[in-house]
């Protein structure tokens, strides 16, 4: 009975397509079984192979792959609906579309250049797609394959060399080897030849699967945390962003800071970290140091001169071209007279920035901004500002919310001198869903890639302290108001990834270009013949 069911699945492409989508979905963080992602492309490779000489191969390859990727995207990204229904649909559709186009292009190139070059093209092109999802116009790296291991940090300590792109490369290669083994088993040849091929494929597969795990385990067991201690206090305010958070005046929030900290501050504390947009009423950027709420908070440093307070604020300034520029920013307040400022520069698509707005807005007009619930696009910072101070040598990068999902972006803070990282976020937008958990999980990747300790302050979600190995040391759960105090390490050394975050993606782009040019050459040659 079971055998017949399996045969039926293998014989019907629709079932294989559904199986692929299910495998991707079940593998994903925070509670997924990562082993499934090592098999998830195999059903799609099988479909593509079965349709090799089919009349409508291109259309069917695209549709079956789109179904798989749509299931995966829907399962993992459903929580976006808590913020915007239209935005959720657009995100899921576009992400599935791009993935499907990659698979279609792989099929087209493979049909002309053969299996080896075709699969190599697939690897390069998929990584190139993930790089594309890091760009400013379509900034959405949430489903980059390498992210899937975020709840299995003992397997990916080598991300300090490759970043999450290395995980993507690993997954693609293993899937190709599994498919090759599957094909060899099905080949109807002499038994000895079959056995030889199976053994050879199995050895390649096992070596590829096990070696990175072994290396990672060794790194994990032998890693020594680096740097001096930074005494950090993290606050989780637990304000409902839909009902409470944005109804509180800045000065009232500043008073709350003074009240909360008056009983727990001491002279040993180096930093207090508050969540994103903690002061949400727009403050005029050029006069930020004259703002009453800022002056009230700075008053604490009269009693605690080594104290630095990092928090999220909404800022604005005049612009000749746009009237006003608005910023979602992080600031550092200490005994210095001047407030340090960093503006969020990886903005949430549709909500904080409309992708390709210059092209689309003339067509849709103001209707465009209603899709994501935003009235306008925020402005961005051109550099990754690192917060320093005169009391000690500590330098921190204040990462605002969504930015923490971008590996290369975070590495810029580190290359600019940050020896610890703070993440300030809201995460209350997503209610009690997988979204806030996935967001925390991805922070662990950034810790490993750069070997930087992370203090994460969420309005509500999960505030946490993460060490250089990606381990969560302390956390506050969803809908808890409270504090985390912990000593984190200030590491000054740079990882290979921090220095070279784009190596794998650059190689992939070059690979895509060369193989595609060769494909065009072959097509032209055949036409001439």
Residues 49-106 have pLDDT tens digits of 999 877 789 999 999 999 999 999 999 999 998 888 888 898 899 999 999 999 999 9
Q: Is the per-residue pLDDT at 229 higher than 70?
A: yes
- Provide the mean pLDDT of the chain: 89
Q: Which residue has the higher pLDDT, 194 or 406?
A: 406
Rg (CA), the chain: 25
- The tokens describing 489, both together, are 């390490």
Contacts of 70 (CB under 8 A, 6+ apart): 21, 92, 93, 96
- The tokens describing 38, both together, are 């090592």
pLDDT reported for residue 373 = 44
Distance CA 100, CA 78 (A): 19
pLDDT reported for residue 372 = 47
**What confidence tens digit (pLDDT) does each residue in 370-418 have?**
554 444 567 888 889 999 988 888 999 999 999 999 999 999 999 999 9
Judged by average pLDDT, the poorest of 59-63, 393-397, 463-467, 521-525 is: 521-525
User: Which CATH code, of 3.40.50.2300, 3.40.190.10, 3.60.110.10, 3.90.120.10, is assigned to 228-345+380-492?
Assistant: 3.60.110.10
Distance CA 138, CA 356 (A): 9
Q: Is the per-residue pLDDT at 320 higher than 90?
A: no
- 3-class state of residue 64 by DSSP: helix
Select, from the ranges 86-90, 108-112, 522-526, the one with the highest average predicted confidence (pLDDT).
108-112
Distance CA 458, CA 477 (A): 10
Distance CA 234, CA 240 (A): 18
Query: Length of the chain, please?
Result: 529
pLDDT reported for residue 191 = 55
Other Cβ atoms less than 10 A from the Cβ of 383: the count is 11
How much is the average pLDDT of 222-237? Answer: 95
Measured N-to-C along each axis, helices 85-113 and 503-528 cross at an angle, to the nearest 10 degrees, of 50
Other Cβ atoms less than 10 A from the Cβ of 77: the count is 21
Q: Which long-range contacts (CB under 8 A, 24 or more apart) does 516-522 make?
A: 516/109, 516/121, 518/113, 518/117, 519/109, 519/112, 519/113, 519/121, 522/112, 522/113
**What confidence tens digit (pLDDT) does each residue in 157-166 have?**
999 999 999 9
pLDDT reported for residue 353 = 72
pLDDT reported for residue 323 = 75
Judged by average pLDDT, the poorest of 158-162, 236-240, 352-356 is: 352-356
Q: What pTM, to 2 d.p., does this model score?
A: 0.91
Q: How confident is the model at residue 517 (pLDDT cuts 50, 70, 90)?
A: very high
Distance CA 384, CA 417 (A): 10
Q: Is the per-residue pLDDT at 190 higher than 60?
A: no
pLDDT reported for residue 169 = 97
In the chain, where the domains are located: 2-223+503-528, 228-345+380-492
pLDDT reported for residue 511 = 97
Distance CA 130, CA 168 (A): 9
Other Cβ atoms less than 10 A from the Cβ of 526: the count is 9
Q: Which residue has the higher pLDDT, 92 or 367?
A: 92
Q: How confident is the model at residue 225 (pLDDT cuts 50, 70, 90)?
A: very high
């Amino acid at each position: 009975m079971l055998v017949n069911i399996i045969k039926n699945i293998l014989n019907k492409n629709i079932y294989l397509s559904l199986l692929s989508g299910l495998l991707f979905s079940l593998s994903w963080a925070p509670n997924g079984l990562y082993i499934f992602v090592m098999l998830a492309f195999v059903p799609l490779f099988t479909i593509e192979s079965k349709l090799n000489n089919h009349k409508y191969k291109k259309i069917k390859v695209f549709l079956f792959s789109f179904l798989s990727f749509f299931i995966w995207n829907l399962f993992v990204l459903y929580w976006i609906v808590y913020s915007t229904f239209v935005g959720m649909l657009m995100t899921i559709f576009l992400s599935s579309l791009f993935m499907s186009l990659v698979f279609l292009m792989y099929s087209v190139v493979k049909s002309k250049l053969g299996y080896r070059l075709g699969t190599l093209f697939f690897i390069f092109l998929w990584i190139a797609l993930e790089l594309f999802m890091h760009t400013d116009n379509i900034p959405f790296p949430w489903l980059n394959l390498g992210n899937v291991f975020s709840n299995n940090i003992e397997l990916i300590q080598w991300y300090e060399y490759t970043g999450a792109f290395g995980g993507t490369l690993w997954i693609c290669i293993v899937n190709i080897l599994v498919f090759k083994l599957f094909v060899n088993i099905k080949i109807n040849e002499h038994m000895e030849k079959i056995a030889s091929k199976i053994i050879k494929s199995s050895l390649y597969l096992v070596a590829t699967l096990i070696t990175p795990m072994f290396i990672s385990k060794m790194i994990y067991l032998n890693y020594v945390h680096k740097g001096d201690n930074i005494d950090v206090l993290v606050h989780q305010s637990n304000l409902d962003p839909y009902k409470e958070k944005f109804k509180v005046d800045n000065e009232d929030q500043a008073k709350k800071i003074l009240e909360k900290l008056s009983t727990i501050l001491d002279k040993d504390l180096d930093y207090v970290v508050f969540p994103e947009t903690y002061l949400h009423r727009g403050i005029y950027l050029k006069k930020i140091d004259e703002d009453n709420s800022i002056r009230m908070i700075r008053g604490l440093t009269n009693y605690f001169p080594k104290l630095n307070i990092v928090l999220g604020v909404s800022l604005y300034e005049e612009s000749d071209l746009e009237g006003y520029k608005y910023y979602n920013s992080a600031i550092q307040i200490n005994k210095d007279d001047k407030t340090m400022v960093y503006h969020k520069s990886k903005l949430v698509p549709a909500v904080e920035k409309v992708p390709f707005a210059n092209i689309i807005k003339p067509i849709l007009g103001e209707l465009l901004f209603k899709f994501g619930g935003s009235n306008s696009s925020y402005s961005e910072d051109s550099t990754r500002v690192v917060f320093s101070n005169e009391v000690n040598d500590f330098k921190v990068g204040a990462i605002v919310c969504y930015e923490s999902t971008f590996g290369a972006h975070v590495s810029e803070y580190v290359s600019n001198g940050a020896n610890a990282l703070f993440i300030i976020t809201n995460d209350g937008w997503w209610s009690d869903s997988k979204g806030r958990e996935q967001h925390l999980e991805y922070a662990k990747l950034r810790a490993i890639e750069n070997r930087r300790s992370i203090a994460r302050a969420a309005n509500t979600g999960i505030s946490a302290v993460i060490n250089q190995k990606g381990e969560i040391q302390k956390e506050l759960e969803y809908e808890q108001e409270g504090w985390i105090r912990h000593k984190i390490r200030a590491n000054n050394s740079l990882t290979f990834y921090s220095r070279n975050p784009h190596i794998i993606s650059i190689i992939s782009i070059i690979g895509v270009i060369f193989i595609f040019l060769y494909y065009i050459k072959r097509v032209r040659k055949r036409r001439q013949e």
